[in-house]
Structure 1
């Protein structure tokens, strides 16, 4: 017969209570971050907007040798909020770092998207990388993110809250 919780050492009970508090706090934060402007956000978007989650996801992608996807997405976010005089420099850097066929951190884009980017790198605007960024985001959401949720990187991030 089960003797119930009273047979467990008090240190185990205290740890369980602590984990319950952390998990409920994480669920509360997650819920608050999901609701924005009356619409639900994608879970990956929520993760990317959280410093601890972003670091955990970066560590996971590094372990899978696909960190370039996140780095490209972040570079595009930085590019989007840059002043127009910096955009040409940053566009060139993004192209040479992530888009060019021999780029050190080449991301997996279809030829059509790659060619479209090449044609506008001389005269970039705020939305130059939007389509490519969305393709990489979709790739991470459908491929990397589900594996991340099952990884120890995710569990470590939950414990950090």
Structure 2
């Protein structure tokens, strides 16, 4: 079954359109804030938080900081019973657990992709039908923001 999105396009392009708009959403502060508020209302804000943490982690340059940031991400989102534990499969979690002793900038890539897909296919379409999104659109139409969001 094709992903339902805000655009009425052929099933083969719907997923691409959603992904492009999801990428735009995640890089736009007003859109990201609205999406985060929506995820909080669904008790799943850890998804966008881990995605953002992974994006920040990939920009880390010093080996010392890579190790410390990796341990923080692991203890906050990955390990069993973490305070903001994300929903990833056992093999991904196990691989990260084995590699956390000597982390690389790519050690969370698979988990980040799983979470991105979950948000794009599940949360993002619901966000587009939410009151939070409608308020964002209405505030844009009323001229309350300086720049029209490209994903709208």
Q: Same fold (TM over 0.5)?
A: yes
Question: When the two structures are aligned, how many residues end up with a matched partner?
Answer: 123
Q: Unmatched 5+ residue regions in structure 2?
A: 1-15, 141-152
| Correspondence for 2:57 among 79, 83, 92 | 79
Give the structure-1-normalised TM-score.
0.73
Specify the structure having the higher radius of gyration (Cα): 1
Give how far 1:153 is off: 1.1
Separation (CA, whole Å) in 1 of partners of 2:61 and 2:40:
30
Matched, 1:51 2:29: yes
The alpha carbon displacement at 1:108 in A equals: 0.2
List aligned pairs for 1:8-157, cutoff 5 A. Answer: 42-84=20-62, 85-157=64-136
State how far apart, in whole Å, the 2-side matches of 1:116 and 1:156 are: 41
- State the distance in 2 between where 1:157 and 1:71 align: 21
Q: CA deviation at 1:155?
A: 1.4
CA distance in 1, matches of 2:74, 2:83: 11
Unaligned runs of 5+ residues in structure 1 are: 1-38
DSSP 3-state at the match of 2:105: coil
- Give the superposition deviation at 1:126: 1.3
Residues in 1 aligned to 2:25 and 2:137: alpha-carbon distance in whole angstroms: 11
Matches of 2:108 and 2:92 in 1, distance apart? 9
Q: What TM-score, normalized to structure 2?
A: 0.77
